[in-house]
Chain A
């Protein structure tokens, strides 16, 4: 699906002014976005679109934004190149699987600046940015550890990539830190946005005895499923309270708006450079939704954990971290794992059963 919000009229007027030689006539900066799901997923892509709208609001009359939604990762070259070819000077590609396509297109269009979310490969004109979602997952892990009665918690994963695996580990470590008997079950949907599959995976986890579940997929389907089966769950990427008001515990909210506005300003001022940004609660890129449907002491624990992580005292991956095979992971970040280690995480921590699918 291709939805262009091109304002041809405005552009034509802009060009007309420029040709007339009006001194202040400035060509609008065209900014493009590629989303992996529909903007109506109320999760991941929805939050990126909130960021896009923040750019429009911050620079009225100076920018023009376009988005292409539901772009399959495997076939994203065309969509990205289409934006580059149509005069977009700054392009945000907002899913891990867009990494190689973004780099390929960036090589062909050296004057276009690219921002790739959650990737780890950069170029002169390709910057990367991500958020420490695992910080939020550690907090909800602690809540889950306190709230579970069956001592079984469930996790719906999208793809076995480092970002998701780090999330599973953080969730489990959080739960274990307050409940040593807790067990985690993982079900993979092999899709970012596929409500039926996500719901099936959630159902499976609940059937297997999980009474608190969370998800690293983009739709509210697992949350809805949890509500139907009367177990607790968490919102993903945006505040999903309305989908299960009585069964949601909190949401991990991604707030991309400040970053998007900052990067747009950098381009407008000619100061844009390739970089890598990886921050979380401390910088406000990860936020927590309201803590609800839980006893006051659990709420207090959650708030204290959030504060400790924000201040830097606590990290989901404080050393020593022991991997599933019993070996202690080398500690490269002082008293905690380094960003690179978290970003490239490809092992389960000790205590998680099962193997990571290939």
Chain B
């Protein structure tokens, strides 16, 4: 099976942007905010990241610019949803639509320009392990970053005071406020982190995944990231497993075609969403409280003065 490590490596590349974007949204939702603008922030990150990389001829600067652009868009969301306590669902959807249009505009002069690849980093010793080595330890730098981010987010959320405060804000913003926790400031930071991650994930798509800018290139990955957060039901590790599962499905979809398996590819591309619904169903039936979502998720917060 010399195909296996190659397929695994393809899955890694497909899963990394999903994981990064979902990780950002996970933190946002832990803080009790629902930002449906992931797709919009992602594509703006892809466009700005690519544009910056072409202009400066540096993929690293491009990735940074992508993250920064996502953060700027997230700031718009924060201004509306936190500052003015607007409806988060409507604001998030508007952000996605705005992002898709904005990205097309920013990216227009850069359509069809080539970018050199970012060389993969082979970890010594580990990369020589059969199958696993070539699959996971000869990857691009952002893949390693994504794994470190998972560890960092899990640690901060579960083991630090900052994480505790963030979860408290998400669980019940009124109580947190009564205890003197700065609800809106914490939510702002969480939203900015979410934007940074979504923008980085977008720049990963245009600079590493395809090395190409084209309008609409995120192709629903932002929504898959949102589905992933639901799927993970509050657990960072399940989020990571889910990202690889969903990434695997997108790869499997094409293998099914080329390998001439009788399943229609449309069904396979719908599988991540079907699995999300199944996960919700399992969570609901198993009787545990709700879907693992934060208690104040999606509710606008207006402090009493």
Contacts and interface: CB of A to CB of B under 8 A. Distances in A.
Asked if A and B bind, the verdict is yes
B7 interface: yes
B111 A40 contact: yes
Interface of A: 1, 38, 40-42, 46, 70, 154, 185-188, 190, 193-197, 199-201, 203-209, 219-221, 224, 228, 242-243, 353-355, 357
B211 A203 contact: no
Given A38-B214, A70-B215, A188 B257 contact: yes
B209 A357 contact: no
Interface stretch (B162-170, B232-240, B258-266, B272-280): B258-266
A87 B108 CA distance: 27
B170 to A, nearest CB: 33
Contact of B219 (A197, A209, A224): A197
B205 interface: yes
Given A1-B104, A201-B258, A224-B210, 5 more contacts: A187-B258, A188-B265, A200-B251, A204-B255, A355-B260
Contact of B214 (A154, A200, A204, A219): A219
B112 interface: yes
B257 A42 contact: no
Interface of B: 3, 6-7, 10, 14, 104, 108, 111-114, 117, 205, 209-212, 214-215, 217, 219, 250-251, 254-255, 257-260, 264-265
Contacts, number: 95
B258 A203 contact: no
B131 to A, nearest CB: 14
Contacts of A195: 210, 212, 214, 217
Contacts of A203: 10, 254
Minimum-distance CB pairs A-B, first 6:
A40-B112, A354-B260, A40-B111, A204-B254, A195-B212, A207-B6
A196 B250 CA distance: 12
Contacts of A205: 258
A201 B254 contact: yes
A241 to B, nearest CB: 11
Nearest to A240: B114
A156 B64 CA distance: 33
A208 B251 contact: no
A204 B211 contact: no
Nearest to B104: A1
A181 B5 CA distance: 26
Nearest to A208: B258
B103 to A, nearest CB: 12
A274 to B, nearest CB: 34
A196 B112 contact: no
Contacts of B209: 196, 199
A242 B114 contact: yes
24 contacts: A70-B215, A154-B258, A185-B259, A186-B257, A187-B257, A187-B258, A188-B265, A194-B219, A195-B212, A195-B214, A195-B217, A196-B205, A196-B217, A196-B219, A200-B14, A200-B250, A204-B254, A208-B255, A208-B258, A208-B259, A209-B3, A220-B212, A221-B210, A221-B212
Contact of B112 (A38, A194, A197): A38
Contacts of B217: 194-196
A203 to B, nearest CB: 5
B212 A207 contact: no
Contacts of A70: 215
A220 B114 contact: yes
A197 to B, nearest CB: 7
A50 to B, nearest CB: 14
B10 A224 contact: no
Nearest to A190: B265
Nearest to A355: B260
B3 A208 contact: yes
Contact of A200 (B6, B215, B254): B254
Given A195-B210, A219-B212, A354-B260, A207 B3 contact: yes
